[in-house]
A and B are shown apart, each in its own frame.
Chain A
């Protein structure tokens, strides 16, 4: 059943990616990408490797973080419940079959699309900085999110109010449970990683709005929908979503500071005199002024 869901997910997201690549990226950028992809891959390789390691670690840690958090974590479900039970109830009282279908679609398919598309879109830019910022921000989201999960034990609304909060997603589409179960534990609700990763994409899309104006608008709509969907579907509390936005803001800000600060190629240049310069747009580590690079330069326009 998991396989079936995965195949379906891959098919739908691939279709969405294909359409949006053609419409939003445009063939000139794709043509350049075909010529320059080697350099771009090289420039983004280090952070890609870091992200891959973090994801691998995350995959392993998922199995023991709940054990750690149950020993040291702070149980906050009741606290949150007291404060905001009515918000979630109100949100759920708005439920219609159409809205449920929309938010379920957004929660599963929209989310994956939102995370994957900017990888493609930023890879199609000659300047690799947005891509590196995105990968760094993803990495930070996972690392910081995992720390929060270890420290805070909380159950989502559907676990304390199963009768009032319809577990809309899993009852309407039980097959999705197999998918989300692979990536989530039911005590990992604070913060909402769905929200934080989506908001990260939206924040970065805003930064690159001059290059991809339509995407900036689309990403914002998607991110908002995903944030709302997590509450509407009874998976997260409002506070989880707010914390998710906060985590996204921190991750994006940090990645803006970190990207370009550590350059492997510059290090190689200094330590291995005979090596050829490896293609990168990074400046050497001791570059005096970096701040001008923080937003995307106009060469892509």
Chain B
């Protein structure tokens, strides 16, 4: 104790000290007044204890201009948390800032948003595997780590057929126990289209690149396709690896070809997935695209995919697409530094797709490419769905990005931060022009293989594809119904759906397409912060959200309430929605939380409340 000696003699009584308000400020005088070391130890052990603190959390989400449903859900989540004594505030971030904060920096407590592509349970692997807990991107933004759960995810990846179905069911059972995030609902997708300009809208899902191919082939005289897009980000950035500027990569999907595609039906009325004629097996999920064909050979480590590329395909700049480009793409997605920096930086997108590929053993010397796969056939085929990048453009982007005078985080490569305009791929459309926040224009790539006579695949039929940026559904609808645009590429906000149904019924040449949900809304927890690592806490929060009521309140009923984040086809019977969430039944009724029951639930899980009714935790 080196405090200045007190000038006033102290009375030395411990009792009088206890009546003082602050213990710590009295330490200096105590040190002198209490002479014996035993007393000092007593004081130290009293002073150096931290108590529990009232829990205060921030929910990160998008403003209404970014996503109307997200902010509305967030306010409901906040009300639910406040009802049980948790102080919750909302942080609004612009779309790119939101994704950067949540996915790259992991700087959040809770977030509300939507998962971009969740049509196949395979996405659970990258979303929840503990290997990815620290990686930036859509791979495990939560920081969830559980060894038993990892085993289930790996089982799902290794197997096929019924075995895989069982593995998925088991994974989902574990999912509802852990509630690593709380799935809320899968929103139906509505788009307004001009059926008088093209009548093929129903064939493929308009949220996927295939939806914009073969338009007008079945009638209609469409030459220029004019789209209205409410999200301005494609006019800023066309980088297929950028996680902040992509939702599900619709436009980059038209610029870059994958080796294989998964056709999805355009409307909810159509049964099953639409067929693709060329070479695919009747029941296959993946169909050859830039790959002419592939063969799967199983072995003890998984298997090998032998891929045959189509002949004479070229990138938009005239360079040929070679097996070396394919090999490069897989190496690059696994580590965008290509091993140069000593710090591995995997792509923040497509991480789960390339995960089973053993990139060091790819053989691309001949005309064929051999991809060794540590997994089953479904995992192998999924690996074929990544955009093939031209090596001559992207190799130099493995360099660390350089911002003069600023320290950039290790392993931040040009590849993940460049806006990649003009984008050079080999896809059915090529980039022409853009004006930020106003439009992006693409044109048909006349040398695309789908336009060859001997290839029977949907190809780019329209000469020009112009995407006009218009920030709100209401004005997008007006533009389409006036005949100034052909399609709203982003799904309509749910609050305008009902009136658009009426509008489409009375306007000639306009149709409202309802397409199957491909995304889901959820509440994400950051396991890196207390108390979100505690499964009891997450399970009770899951029970504070009345999904059915939220669907009515926020989505006007245009969504499917979820118990598990997969399509109905993959949902095990025991976990199917039965008017309530069978795994996490709502603590209350009709959106009204039963405060007492909820607080009891927290208390029986070991949490406690202070005198003011605030939930206390150790942080």
Q: Closest chain A residue to B493 by CB distance?
A: A162
- With known contacts A70-B97, A162-B71, A75–B91 Cβ distance under 8 A: yes
- Give the chain A neighbours of B75 by CB distance below 8 A: 160-161
- Give the chain A neighbours of B89 by CB distance below 8 A: 78, 82
- With known contacts A81-B90, A187-B94, A162–B64 Cβ distance under 8 A: yes
- Give the chain B neighbours of A63 by CB distance below 8 A: 436
Interface string of B473-509 (1 = CB under 8 A from A): 0110011000010000000000100000000000000
- With known contacts A1-B479, A1-B484, A162–B472 Cβ distance under 8 A: no
Report the stretch among A99-107, A167-175, A265-273 that lies at the interface: A167-175
Whole-angstrom distance between the Cβ of B407 and the nearest chain A Cβ: 14
- Give the chain B neighbours of A78 by CB distance below 8 A: 89-92
- Give the chain B neighbours of A1 by CB distance below 8 A: 475, 479, 484
Contact residues of B between 431 and 463, Cβ < 8 Å to A:
436-437
A177 contacts B92, C-beta separation under 8 Å: no
Whole-angstrom distance between the Cβ of A66 and the nearest chain B Cβ: 8
Whole-angstrom distance between the Cβ of A158 and the nearest chain B Cβ: 6
A155 to B75, alpha carbons, bound, how many Å? Answer: 15
Contact residues of B between 59 and 82, Cβ < 8 Å to A:
63-65, 68, 71-72, 75
- With known contacts A70-B94, A78-B90, A159–B475 Cβ distance under 8 A: no
- With known contacts A78-B91, A81-B90, A186-B63, A160–B71 Cβ distance under 8 A: yes
A127 to B75, alpha carbons, bound, how many Å? Answer: 56
A175 to B495, alpha carbons, bound, how many Å? Answer: 19
Q: Within the complex, which residue of A155, A163, A175, A181 is in contact with B471, where a contact is CB–CB below 8 Å?
A: A181
Q: Within the complex, which residue of A77, A167, A181 is in contact with B92, where a contact is CB–CB below 8 Å?
A: A77
Task: Say whether A285 faces chain B, with CB atoms less than 8 Å apart.
Answer: no
Q: Closest chain A residue to B468 by CB distance?
A: A1
Q: Closest chain B residue to A82 by CB distance?
A: B89
Name the prevailing secondary structure of the B interface residues.
mixed
- Give the chain A neighbours of B478 by CB distance below 8 A: 174-175
A159 to B91, alpha carbons, bound, how many Å? Answer: 12
Q: Within the complex, which residue of A159, A177, A181 is in contact with B64, where a contact is CB–CB below 8 Å?
A: A159
A160 contacts B475, C-beta separation under 8 Å: no
- Give the chain B neighbours of A27 by CB distance below 8 A: none
Task: Say whether A178 faces chain B, with CB atoms less than 8 Å apart.
Answer: yes
A70 to B72, alpha carbons, bound, how many Å? Answer: 23
Q: Closest chain B residue to A78 by CB distance?
A: B89
A159 contacts B97, C-beta separation under 8 Å: no
**What are 20 A-B pairs at a CB distance below 8 A?**
A1-B479, A1-B484, A63-B436, A70-B97, A77-B92, A78-B90, A78-B91, A78-B92, A159-B63, A159-B64, A159-B71, A160-B64, A160-B71, A162-B72, A174-B478, A175-B475, A175-B478, A177-B470, A178-B470, A181-B437
Write the residues of chain A forming the contact surface with B, with a CB cutoff of 8 angstroms: 1, 63, 66, 70, 75, 77-78, 81-82, 155, 158-163, 167, 170-171, 174-175, 177-178, 181, 186-187
Please name 13 further chain A to chain B contacts, defined as beta carbons within 8 Å, in addition to the given A162-B64, A170-B474, A174-B474, sorted by A numbering.
Answer: A63-B436, A70-B94, A77-B63, A77-B90, A78-B92, A155-B63, A159-B63, A159-B92, A161-B75, A162-B71, A163-B495, A171-B474, A177-B472
